[in-house]
Structure 1
Amino acid sequence: MRIGIVCPYSWDVPGGVQFHIRDLAQHLTALGHEVSVLAPAEEGTPLPPYVVPAGRAVPVPYNGSVARLNFGFLSAARVRRWVHEGAFDVLHIHEPATPSLSLLACWAAQGPIVATFHTSNPRSRAMIAAYPILQPALEKISARIAVGEYARRTLVEHLGGDAVVIPNGVDVGFFADAEPKAEWQGRDGGNTVGFIGRIDEPRKGLPVLMRALPRILAERPGTRLLVAGRGDEEEAVAGLPRELRDRVEFLGMVSDEDKARLLRSVDLYIAPNTGGESFGIILVEAMSAGAPVLASDLDAFAQVLDGGEAGELYANEDAGALAAAAVRLLGDPRRRAELRERGGRHVRRFDWSTVGADILSVYETVTDGAASVAPDERAGLRARLGLARD
């Protein structure tokens, strides 16, 4: 199958959507499919052979973060050329409601379109206001996927229609087989706590963790916090007493291999995110690596952690609750072992062997499956997948 995938966000500034698209493209390629990914990228960015650059992106504040998007007449021409030359059996567009390559691809496409919705934003006035503009493009979509129940709810409430929920995928074995790194493990009987995310993006929650840290260190004085991600390190620890700052070790941006090794090394992974999450891929990666997880009780996080069965939850933005839960878990090796075991079982549903097969089923349904089933069964399939009307 010839598959075209459209990434709305800049490839050179990695994020959850880009990682999902990268891993999906690699999974499909390994199965023998021909895959081309169109993505914004700065000139000179090293790109895998399946990525076609569509020019530099412009940073735009969106949903508590900064989205780097590519839009305009030149971009539209590049999209049309890529769609025409690709002659794809199916076009898979991510975040089609975003003013980016994705929306341009919706306008340019002629054949079957599968769209994946990642955003969880229940109060998006911009999306509501833009609906009349988006509607003609969205009506061309053949099937809709949401990465989680809250992304699906955002779609239903703002744009209408429905979607099948297929979560983001993870190569579980990659994280499970990683070797721990001795210098990232606990020292002298102390514990190591991990955080991975953009330091200077408040919704990733590092400030909440920093407010909780003095109490954690007071009750568990041998603890270290390892922070991986880009941002201003001095600003991140500005609120900590000076005598505690050496208990925080900044690793900067890490490779995928080192991210897996970090997650394999820590005694507890903390996800203090404060909002704007539709899934929580880092939680799945942490569980895959065998790290016990403590996360804020965002709806999307609670769903990924099986309502708290596969990882513990604390009240969002409550630094005191975070500290109390972290101290309790760090002092309870038996509970951490239980979370590792439960997380290891739960995470199998997110492996690419399962997620990739589900996505391929959607591709096959929109390309040739609907014509071969009885009318009543076809109606059921279309309703389940959120397909556009005939």
Structure 2
Amino acid sequence: MNDCLRVGLVCPYSFARAGGVQNHVLGLAGWLRSQGHSVSILAPGRPTAAMLHGAGLGATDFTSAGPAIPVSYNGSVARINFGPAAALRVRDWLKHGHFDLVHVHEPMTPSISLLALGRARVPLVATFHTATPGSRTMGLAYQLLPQAAERIDRSIAVSRTAARVAEAHGGPRSTVIGNAISVREHPLAECTARWRAGDHPRVTFVGRYDEPRKGLTVLLDALPVVRRRHPDLRVQVVGAGTARRTAGVQFTGPLDDRGRNEALATSDAYVAPHTGRESFGIVLLEALASGAPVVASDLPAFREVVSDEHGPVADLFRPGDPQALAEALLTSLARPRGQWERRGRRRAEAFDWSVVGPQVLEVYRNAAGSASSAAPRGRSPRLWV
């Protein structure tokens, strides 16, 4: 394989809505481009020009797989597409891309990722993001299309939790490589006042808060206990959902990356009250990089993300327990800043693209080496077309 690669990236989720997987794919594409590699993204929907520009990409670096439909998946709503029309778009993209390697995200979901897995005739890398034990969708895909899984030359999982889930469903053994952020986009401002937001403490929640597993109600139920000690506490809720009239809570709606980063940079705590099914937690790193202390549910993937060699650099609490959340948040608000913030920043730096990108590229090299001696690609099954 040449030093400069032509890489095809497949994302099953629509770019018409922001999401963790989509942002990761954009970030990876931008890092690969910065290293001299050629990239092309295939996904439903279409990102804005600003999103592409922010990643150092142009309009020709993205191919739309067509419109997506919302389906319930992993306790959330995934916007994906599948079927003959999508299969034709996958076929044409692969035919004209002349890729050295194709990197498919969420390969066993019924989407363009599964279609690309069946049609590609070049080395294949797959990344697993799902953290749903006993996923019927993933299990059914492995049962009905075992040959598709065999097409994967190298597998990545974003956390040990995601790796265990994939392997439990019959997937390949994965190299654990977390999602990444660009730390330089999170300038760390020195805070000289008692509170980062001014004369009152502010905590922030980021996510699609209408989804029960994101746990906003757990946070809201904890507020009365917290306000006994901090009656002037302010809460900002960032993300898509139905705004509610709640005293001391501001629903900002979705913000772009810069707006979200500014919100985190002026937060005295970032609260992640998710109740389960989380495979990583990229916003935890964004908060740490911005200097915002993290208070999070003690989920395996969250603990993995926020722990360094000395243990968690966050206050963790029992998932779904408002009293436990309140106690953890009070502990966080009472802690002196400084060293804790610097330690969180160092943890975030371990997931910067300058660290994660080379790890992914090494997997690409290994996939190319293993594929060179594998069975001819023409013997692989074809899906739909």
TM-score by length of 2: 0.88
In structure 2, stretches of 5+ residues that fail to align are 53-58, 374-385
Q: What residue in structure 1 maps to residue 220 of structure 2?
A: 210
User: Quick one: which amino acid aligns to residue 65 of structure 1?
Assistant: S
Deviation digits for residues 63-106 of structure 1, max 9, x if unmatched? 10011111010100110000010010000000000000100001
- 2:319 equivalent to 1:319: no
Paired position in structure 1 for 2:248:
247
**For residues 224 and 370 of structure 2, what CA distance do their matches in structure 1 show?**
58
State the distance in 1 between where 2:136 and 2:372 align. Answer: 38
* Aligned position for 2:231: 221
Aligned to 2:333: 330
> Any conservation in 1 of the 2:296–2:317 contact (CA below 8 Å)?
yes
Quote the Cα distance in structure 2 between the aligned partners of 1:39 and 1:328: 43
Partner of 2:172 in structure 1?
A: 161
Cα offset for 1:309?
Answer: 2.3
**2:22 paired with 1:18:** yes
Task: Tell me the residue number matched to 1:362.
Answer: 363
Aligned counterpart for 2:185 among listed residues 165, 174, 190: 174
Q: CA deviation at 1:125?
A: 3.0
1:200 to 210, 216, 219: 210
Q: Go from structure 1 to structure 2 and tell me whether the alpha carbon gap of 1:178 and 1:78 turns closer, same or farther (over 3 Å shift).
A: farther
State the Cα distance separating 1:145 from its structure 2 match: 0.3
Letter in 1 for 2:367: V
Matched residue, 1:377:
none
Q: Amino acid of the residue matched to residue 231 of structure 1?
A: G
Write the distance in 2 (CA, Å) between the matches of 1:279 and 1:31.
26
TM-fit CA distance, 1:341: 2.1
Within 5 A, what are the aligned runs for 1:296-311?
296-306=297-307, 308-311=311-314
* Equivalent residue number for residue 95 of structure 2: 84
Cross-structure match for 1:150? 161
1:218 Cα offset (Å): 2.2
Q: How far apart are the structure 1 equivalents of 2:153 and 2:332? A: 46
| Helix, strand or coil at the partner of 2:145 | helix
Amino acid at match of 1:30: S
Shift of 1:130: 3.0
Structure 1 gap ranges (5+)? 238-244, 373-390
**Structure with greater helix share of residues:** 1
3-state SS of the aligned residue for 2:186?
Answer: helix
Aligned-CA RMSD value: 2.3
What does 1:99-178 correspond to in 2, within 5 Å?
Answer: 99-176=110-187
Please give the secondary structure, in 2, of the residue aligned with 1:273: coil
1:4 corresponds in structure 2 to: 8
Distance 2:307 2:230 in 1: 28
* Pairing of 1:22-61 with structure 2 (within 5 A): 22-41=26-45, 48=52, 49=59, 50-61=61-72
1:313 is aligned with what amino acid? L
d(CA) in 2 for partners of 1:179, 1:232: 34
Per-residue CA shift, 1:187-219, capped at 9, x if unaligned? 43x201111111211111111101111211222
* Secondary structure of 1:195 counterpart: strand
The amino acid that maps onto 1:223 is L
With normalisation by structure 1, the TM-score equals 0.87
| CA shift digits 1:165-208 (9 cap, x unpaired) | 0000110111135799x9x95343x2011111112111111111
Q: How many residues align?
A: 359
